[in-house]
């Protein structure tokens, strides 16, 4: 193929001056084929690029393969492609390309894949890299992911880290997952965690009335009138009249009768 490239360059004059098909156009072809997952044609385009651009094209294929790994489709195939291309690159360029992929995997929370790339670099993930990956899981409220990283760091999650997971878990995953986080908190902090979860249930129409009552029981109390009224109000706003009726039935008189009477109007 290199003979064909030389032939084209001679026919078109000096590189960059008299090319029949401009390098920039070929690079656009490469981007287009990659965007359509046409891997075979993309490789063929790379083989028509001048040496310095060919290396950049191969790096693009590596990055493309890295994204495919994250899609969890034919994962082993794409990891093998990354290794195959890496082995064809000059050492310094190969290492930089792999480091960039590893950094992106950690940023996105794909620690298992980052470990595989680290092996291609003939090293282990550093403590600093693992701590950065942990931050991603804390921000995502991902307890399982955070626990895995803590295990690799050979330590337990700190109270501050658990608090951060709890807060973000409530915002992103919902209160059900947050209960598992509360179980790991020190005894003196469990009540505060449960109050946060209960507030989420009440204010954002999560779960059933029984779910909300169970959280209150974990706190050693019943739902307050104010909490039941708020559950009723939000359930009505969301068109969840069955839940609103259940909440109304738990209210003391005369509110119980008045709230149920109002629901009759809406039926």
Terminal CA-CA length for the chain: 76
Question: d(Cα 133, Cα 169) in Å, to the nearest integer?
Answer: 17
Length of the chain: 267
User: What pTM value is reported for the model?
Assistant: 0.70
Whether 159 shows a pLDDT value over 50: the answer reads yes
Q: What is the pLDDT of residues 170-195, one digit of tens each?
A: 887 677 778 999 999 998 899 999 99
- Give the DSSP letter of residue 173: T
Amino acid 18: pLDDT: 53
**Mean pLDDT score, 51-69:** 87
Give the residue, 20 or 255, on which the prediction is more confident: 255
């Amino acid at each position: 193929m290199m003979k064909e490239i030389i032939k084209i360059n001679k026919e078109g004059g000096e590189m960059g001056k008299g090319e029949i098909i401009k390098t920039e156009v070929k690079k656009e072809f490469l981007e287009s084929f990659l965007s359509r997952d046409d891997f075979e044609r993309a490789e063929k385009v790379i083989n028509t690029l001048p040496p310095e651009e060919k290396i950049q094209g191969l790096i693009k294929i590596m990055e493309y393969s890295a994204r495919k790994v994250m899609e969890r489709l034919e994962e082993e195939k794409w990891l093998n492609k990354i290794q195959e291309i890496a082995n064809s690159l000059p050492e310094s360029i190969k290492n930089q390309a792999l480091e960039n992929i590893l950094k992106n995997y950690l940023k996105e929370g794909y620690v298992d894949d980052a470990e595989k790339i680290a092996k291609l670099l003939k090293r282990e993930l550093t403590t600093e890299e693992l701590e950065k990956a942990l931050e991603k899981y804390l921000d995502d409220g991902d307890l399982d992911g955070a626990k895995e990283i803590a295990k690799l760091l050979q330590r337990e999650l700190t109270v501050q880290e658990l608090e951060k997971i709890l807060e973000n878990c409530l915002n992103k995953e919902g209160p059900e997952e947050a209960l598992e986080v509360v179980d790991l908190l020190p005894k003196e902090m469990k009540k505060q965690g449960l109050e946060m979860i209960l507030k989420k249930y009440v204010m954002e129409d999560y779960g059933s009335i029984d779910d909300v009552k169970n959280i209150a029981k974990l706190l050693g109390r019943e739902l307050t009138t104010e909490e039941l009224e708020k559950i009723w109000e939000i359930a009505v706003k969301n068109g969840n009249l069955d839940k609103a009726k259940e909440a109304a039935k738990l209210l003391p008189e005369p509110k119980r009768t008045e709230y149920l009477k109002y629901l009759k109007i809406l039926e």
